Amino acid sequence: MATRKSSPSRVRTVYRTAKRTVRRRASSGMGGIMGAVKKDLIPGALAGVAAPIANKYVPGWGAPLAYGGIGYFMKNSTLMTLAGIAAGQNIAPMVSNMLPGGNTTNTGAFL
């Protein structure tokens, strides 16, 4: 019985392409100390100024609104967290007064 001869494997032609030169773009200035100033210091300073002003117009809720607003628009998660903590301090006494036997206590968080 004759064995079948396999067909020769195909030869793949490899075309060489010119290599592209990859150059690093100039930094956008968000590194080092200036990056920290833009990313953390300026939003924190704005929130520190805005919170007492907002508390004059919205007593008790001015600080959470100022922290949350500046944190949202400047994409700062730390200020958003502080807004949540400050809002929680305002909500906790309301909830505990609605519960039977509840009394207002300080949660220990600052603001």
69 is written with which tokens?
């607003």
pTM, 2 dp: 0.56
Looking at residue 100, its pLDDT comes to 73
The gap from C-alpha 20 to its chain's centroid, in whole angstroms, comes to 36
Looking at residue 90, its pLDDT comes to 86
| Range list of H helices, the chain | 32-36, 42-57, 62-73, 77-98
Region label for 24, one of left (φ > 0), alpha (ψ between -120 and 50) or beta (otherwise):
beta
Each residue's pLDDT expressed in tens, for the chain with a length of 111 residues = 666 666 666 666 666 777 777 777 665 555 677 777 777 788 889 999 999 999 999 888 999 999 999 999 999 888 999 899 989 888 887 777 777 765 555 555 555
DSSP letter (8 states) at residue 61: T
SS3 27: coil
User: Which element (helix H / strand E) includes 8?
Assistant: none
DSSP letter (8 states) at residue 101: T
